[in-house]
Amino acid sequence: MTNYYDTKRMFITFEGLDGSGKTTQATLLVHRLSALGREVMFLREPGGTTVSEKIRAILLDKQHLELRQKTELLLFSAARAQLVEDVIRPALRSGKVVICDRFYDSTTAYQGYGRKLNLDEIRSINTLATSGTTPDLTVLVDVELDELRRRRHSAGIVDDRMESSGVEFYQRVRGGYLAMTVAEPKRIILINGMRPVEEIHNEIWSIVQQRFF
């Protein structure tokens, strides 16, 4: 199935705190686009390549609590650089849709706002790691922290190293995400994640149709 829409670049990223439902929404969009005949590549960060998956294991392992904040920043960026060069850029050049569960906005939110590292330096590192590759659309699924804790408790999810950073850290991360939507309203779309899954998906699909169809 080939039509006009196949010629338009579509690189969409999903952002939000863990437990926000961003992965569920990204998966639903992958299925929706695939059903239309688009060839879709679904990726996650950190990960997506052999090297990046090994870096992911280090970053999430609670045995590495001594990991320095700048080391954490550079490891996330290293995993991203490998993914961009080996997978994302080739896929976009070949006309595939690329949907990524997290991208460089996560680094700005978590290491910048959350860890309080220098935002200007992080922007420079993000540009270097991605070779200037920017998403065409970023969907930020926002959920209040109390709801996230309820969801994780109900699901019996054990915190990894990143998720063990504390409430104040996650308050700063969420605040950072919200600030980013104000700074880049054309690229980053804020979605209320407190609603039913299907309702959220329908809103995202409507936005995708308006942007790309």
Q: 14-33 burial, b if ≥16 CB within 10 A, otherwise e?
A: bbbbbbbbbbebbebbbebb
Q: Is residue 17 part of a domain?
A: yes
Domain count of the fold of the chain? 1
4: in domain: no
Q: Let me know if residue 2 belongs to a domain.
A: no
Q: Is residue 3 part of a domain?
A: no
Sheet holding 137-142, edge to edge: 40-44, 97-101, 11-15, 137-142, 188-192
Please give the pLDDT value at position 165: 79
Query: Residue 187 sits in which domain range?
Result: 9-212
Confidence check: pLDDT of 14 > 60: yes
**Could you tell me if residue 31 is inside a domain?**
yes
Q: Is the backbone peptide bond immediately before 135 cis, with ω within 30 degrees of 0?
A: no
56: pLDDT strictly greater than 60:
yes
Residue 69: CB atoms within 10 Å: 12
pTM for this entry? 0.92
**pLDDT at res. 65:** 83
C-alpha 116, offset from chain centre: 19
1 occurs within a structural domain: no
Res. 39: pLDDT tops 80 = yes
The pLDDT tens digits for 57-99 are 999 888 888 899 999 999 999 999 999 999 999 999 999 999 9
